[in-house]
Amino acid sequence: MKITLPTAEAGQAILKASKDNMLVKGAFIKYDVEIDGNRLILKAKEGFTENAEDAFLLAWYAKEYI
């Protein structure tokens, strides 16, 4: 699943949130996360399925880190 973030700062916020927030950490367990500028690519790891709600929740909890 490819998502275009509003700014590159959003990607940095996701990385910061992954250190503190358990839900964001969970996304990193479930997905291979690639952040390149303002592009976010989530690839479900083996045994998991992609879910658009996961991307929404990732952004929701990372917004506090911008």
pTM score, two decimals? Answer: 0.81
User: Which DSSP helix (H) or strand (E) runs through 40?
Assistant: strand 39-44
Task: Please state the domain extents for the chain.
Answer: 2-65
pLDDT of 62 over the 90 cut? no
Contact present, 3 and 52 (Cβ < 8 Å)? no
Give 38's pLDDT tier (boundaries 50, 70, 90): confident
Tell me how far apart the alpha carbons of residues 66 and 61 are, in angstroms, rounded to a whole number: 10
Tell me how far apart the alpha carbons of residues 11 and 36 are, in angstroms, rounded to a whole number: 8
State mean pLDDT over 44-49: 96
Give 59's pLDDT tier (boundaries 50, 70, 90): confident
Contact present, 13 and 66 (Cβ < 8 Å)? yes
